[in-house]
Amino acid sequence: MRIALINPNPILEENEHFYGQKWPPLGILLLGTILKNQGHLVRLLDQASNGFSFDDVLKWIKRVDPEVIGISAMTVGFLSSIKISQMVKEWNPNIKIVLGHYHPTFCANKILKKYNHLVDYCVRGENEYIFSNLIIYLENSHNREPTDILGVSYRFNGKNRHNPDCPINKNLDDLPFIDRSFLKFPYRQNLAGMELMDSKLATTFFTRGCPYSCTYCAVSKFSNRQYRSKSPERLVKEFLYLASKGFSEVAFVDDNFSFNLKNVVKFCKLLRNENLDINWHVEMRVDKVSRELFEKMVSSGCKSISFGIESANQRILNYYNKKITPYQSLRAIKIAKKAKIDFVIGLFMLGAPFETLSECENTVRFAWNSGVDFFFLNIVETWPGIPMWDDLVSKGLINDKRWETSTRVIDLTHTEAQRKWILDLIRQTYKEYISFKRIGWIFKSIPDMLLSSYKRKIVFNFLKHFRNGMRTIVRLRNLKLSGFGKFSTDG
């Protein structure tokens, strides 16, 4: 069959943008690889990175002329998925539309009730083979109901049908190496839109799932709290494959990279033996760290760690059910710096339910003084599928009718003056953090830069793309954060 897979760009307000990293969409890449291996004609579009308008997307679809379209519908991109579906159905109502990812997993019933004229099927859960089983059905079984396809929801005889859940993939080694040739976009390692390296970037994962239940995260529910890992040997083979394809930057998208410390250490030892010219980057919890672990990571090519610190206030961390302390965050940062991790990044959020202004201020002060090389401040948002959403609905703070998109928590639990104060705090923090007032820090960092070949390359690349780098710096200094990862250029 002719199949198109799309990673949509979220619908944003006028003058609103995302400042995050443009990463290869791993989900549709893996799905596309599986379908291609099964003999289907597959095309992929990453609207989010290519900057396509919705009209551009429709033109691309018309050129591809698919029989089935699969759309990756995270909550922030759900309304985009619906807009694309509507445009497609108006052009050719015979094309089957399939939505997958978080939002269809948690909201399949609502989607099919409201949008059954646009969406034919919802794929629930993380198992890539659900979609390929559905494709087999669409090829061969038009006259019967797909009752035997696990993990699929659909409309039949005017009623929503939800087949039993499909078991998740337990043996990640069985998944194929991803065909990276589907997408021609030149993905690069970057920081808030500023390209750090000119070399090719790939994304991958070592593990899936998470045994924790943080209130702001959907991963635990999506994976049924089942944590699984590729074997270190399999992951090293993947790195060899990526190196053979010319990739020299790899970003892990794991939700809990270091939960199995022995596996990580073994992977680092095996990778070091291969002597590959690949730099890799991870996000980690602050409570799964050690000096030995970081030194092994550095010796095998790890260049940056982003720590999920979230807050400097134990009350807020307890509400998040994060199961860490601010002291553990400081300790993790200190150990990572001593182990010579080139870039240590802190990830923070402001605006938890009823978080006080002094608590927000405390988190910003903590970020400033934590010793990280860079930090990001985000606004807490909630959406269906996470415990925070259920908590806010149960307390009557949010109406379940707002299920189609994410919602800033400060819009539910803070006054207009408090919201403005928090957003202004973030804006002023970025303005001061990225300024010549910190010239002393820059001079102190020179010896460290001279000792790090990776940092020297970044400096040279910045000078090579000086205008773009300065534009990014100016944008960050004047950042008007409007949501999680979103900023406004208005005014």
Quick: pLDDT tens for 139-166: 987 678 999 999 999 999 999 999 999 9
Q: pLDDT band for 224, please (50, 70, 90 cuts).
A: confident
- The domain tally of the chain equals 2
CA–CA separation, 85 and 194 (whole Å): 33
Give the pair of three-digit tokens for residue 51. 């900057």
Mean pLDDT of 241-263: 94
Note whether 217 and 295 are same-domain residues. Answer: yes
Helix, strand, coil content of the chain in percent (nearest 5): 45, 20, 35
pLDDT bucket at 185, cuts 50 / 70 / 90: confident
For residue 491, pLDDT beyond 70: no
Residues 115 and 219 grouped into a single domain: no
- pLDDT on residue 488: 64
Q: pLDDT grade, residue 16 (50/70/90)?
A: low
Q: What is the pLDDT of residue 487?
A: 64
Distance from C-alpha of 378 to C-alpha of 360, rounded to nearest angstrom: 11
The mean per-residue pLDDT over the stretch 88-114 comes to 97
Q: Is the pLDDT of residue 369 over 90?
A: yes
Statement to judge: residues 378 and 469 lie in one domain: yes
Residues 477 and 355 in one domain: yes
Query: Does 163 reside within a domain?
Result: no
Decide which of 132, 156, 180 is a domain's last residue. 156
- Within 10 A of 437 (CB to CB), how many other CB atoms are there? 10
Rg (CA), the chain: 23
Tell me, yes or no, whether 335 and 462 share the same domain: yes
Question: Taking 70 as the threshold, does the pLDDT of residue 313 lie above it?
Answer: yes
- Where is pLDDT greater, at 374 or 453? 374
Dihedral angle of Cα 447, 450, 454, 456, to the nearest 10 degrees: 120
Does a structural domain hold residue 462? yes
Domain that holds residue 117: 2-156
Q: How far is CA 309 from the centre of its chain?
A: 16
Mean pLDDT of 326-338: 97
Interval 383-401 mean pLDDT? 95
Does this model's pTM top 0.85? My answer is: yes
Q: Which two tokens stand for residue 138?
A: 């669409």
For residue 272, count other CB atoms closer than 10 A to its CB.
16
Percent of the chain residues topping a pLDDT of 70: 91
Q: Does the residue 169 lie in any domain?
A: no
For tokens 């104060």, name the residue: 421
**Taking Cα atoms as reference points, which of 327, 254, 252, 261 lies closest to residue 294?**
261
Query: What span, in angstroms and rounded, lies between the C-alpha atoms of 47 and 476?
Result: 24
Spatial neighbors of 276 by CB under 8 A, at least 6 apart, are 239, 240, 243, 301
pLDDT of residue 192: 59
Dist CA 122 CA 73 (whole Å): 10
The verdict on residue 375 lying in a domain is yes
Q: Does 129 share its domain with 212?
A: no
d(C-alpha 309, C-alpha 318), whole Å: 12
The CATH number of whichever domain residue 109 belongs to comes to 3.40.50.280
pLDDT for res 471: 73
Which CATH number belongs to the domain containing residue 304 in this structure?
3.80.30.20
51-65, 350-364, 370-384, 429-443 — which is least confidently predicted? 429-443
What does the alpha-carbon distance between residue 17 and residue 485 come to, in Å, rounded to a whole number? 8
Of the candidates 190, 275, 212, 225, the residue with the CA atom closest to the CA atom of residue 468: 190
Same domain, 342 and 260: yes
pLDDT tens, 194-204? 666 778 999 99
- Same-domain check for residues 359 and 458: yes
C-alpha–C-alpha distance, residues 72 and 28, integer Å = 7
pLDDT at 86 over 50: yes
Listed residues 156, 181, 210: the one ending a domain: 156
Q: Which of 79-88, 236-245, 450-459 has the lowest mean pLDDT?
A: 450-459
pLDDT at 89 over 50: yes
Q: Which of 480, 438, 481 is nearest to 349 (CA)?
A: 481
- Arithmetic mean of pLDDT, 404-411: 95
Residue 396 confidence (pLDDT) above 90: yes
pLDDT over 50 (residue 253): yes
In this prediction, residues 178-189 reach a mean pLDDT of 89
Boundary of a domain, candidates 136, 156, 176: 156
> Is 181 inside a domain boundary?
no
Average pLDDT rounded to a whole number, residues 406-430:
94
323, part of any domain: yes
Residues above pLDDT 90, as percent of the chain: 74
Identify whether residues 222 and 118 lie together within a single domain. no
User: Among positive and negative, which fits the CA dihedral 445, 425, 367, 478?
Assistant: negative
Lowest mean pLDDT among 63-67, 125-129, 467-471: 467-471
User: Cα(491)–Cα(482) distance, rounded to whole angstroms?
Assistant: 13
If one compares 249 and 442, the residue with the highest pLDDT of the two is 249
Same-domain pairing of 223 and 351: yes
Domain membership flag for residue 188: no
Question: Which pLDDT belongs to residue 197?
Answer: 72
Question: Cα–Cα distance between 368 and 438 in angstroms, integer?
Answer: 11
Residue 320 belongs to some domain of the structure: yes
Q: How confident is the model at residue 137 (pLDDT cuts 50, 70, 90)?
A: very high
Average pLDDT across the chain, whole number: 90
Q: How confident is the model at residue 415 (pLDDT cuts 50, 70, 90)?
A: very high
- Residues 133, 223 within the same domain: no
C-alpha 31/C-alpha 27 separation (Å) is 6
Q: Say if residue 149 is in the same domain as residue 258.
A: no
Mean pLDDT along residues 315-325: 98
CA–CA distances in Å: residue 460 to residues 307, 383, 445: 26, 41, 15
